[in-house]
Amino acid sequence: MFFCTYQRGGAQEDEYAFSGAIDADSFSALFSGLDWREEHEKWRRNTSGSEPTVSVVNREKKSLLWVSCLPDSADVFLLGLVRTLPRRFGRILPLSTRTKKKK
């Protein structure tokens, strides 16, 4: 089972129109049933809020898939995939310590 959130165009970051458990068929129905053009227009009128975005979290695999409209077009979508990678060698060093050279 997956967990889904949906933000309308122009909504604040913590404001969701839908939030709850979802399966693949329900996600497909939600995604294709959205009026992306209308939501994109709402965002254009209130650019301080979120672009219309649907996110799905797979807690078991610790991954997140999100789909959003691009700011300049309601016909083009931006896809994002975020996942947790296993640690290697016990810990992950901050970027600043990985790039410093010893004198």
The model's pLDDT over 43-72, given as tens digits with 9 standing for 90+, comes to: 888 777 888 889 898 888 888 888 888 767
Kindly report the pTM of this predicted structure. 0.68
User: How many whole angstroms separate alpha carbon 5 and alpha carbon 16?
Assistant: 6
Q: How many helices (H) and strands (E) does the chain have?
A: 3, 5
Residues, the chain, total?
A: 103
The pLDDT of residue 32 is above 70: yes
